[in-house]
Amino acid sequence: MDKKAIYDYVDAKALVKETEEDIQNNRKALAVYDKVRGSNPDFPYQPQSFSVQGIIEEDLDDEEEKILQERKLNAKRLKVRAEKAINAAPVRMQRIIRFRIMEDLKWSEVAEQMGGNCTGDSVRMEFQNWMKEK
């Protein structure tokens, strides 16, 4: 179990989101407008003018997009590795990890969420000891 991946969870999750935004920004959307003339297909023929519009989505740089997709894939792998480590932890430790790592609470706030006779220091030591275990 790769416990150190737990520290990377928040960053990996954010990197996936940021990279998806970068991929969207890498694409150029071009609005196109035009007018066409036509008429009814049956008699009496009545000439009419129609406005048409659309969007052309164009990749600016395929090589850059490949790099961004690779970055996104690596970040997702890191995120999954962290999630596996979290799921392998005891239930109590999963709660501590969720409060401390994912929700970024202070140790005293984690202790409050855990309830019981916990203190910030006791919860911190419990987490550190678990992280040191093989």
Per the model's pLDDT, the better-predicted residue between 26 and 68 turns out to be: 68
Residue 21 predicted with pLDDT over 60: yes
pLDDT of residue 98: 92
Per the model's pLDDT, the better-predicted residue between 49 and 125 turns out to be: 125
pLDDT of residue 90: 93
Residue 60 predicted with pLDDT over 60: no
The Cα–Cα gap between 86 and 93 comes to: 8
Tokens of 97: 């990890």
The Cα–Cα gap between 63 and 5 comes to: 29
Please, what is the average pLDDT of the chain? Answer: 86
**By three-state DSSP, how is residue 133 classified?**
coil
pLDDT of residue 54: 83
Peptide bond into 44 cis (omega under 30): yes
Q: Which of 134, 52, 62, 128 is nearest to 96 (CA)?
A: 128
Rounded to 5 degrees, φ, ψ at 38 are -160, -175
The residue extents of the domains of the chain are 5-27+60-132
For residue range 71-126, what is the model confidence (pLDDT) as tens digits? 999 999 998 998 898 899 999 999 999 999 888 899 999 999 998 888 999 999 99
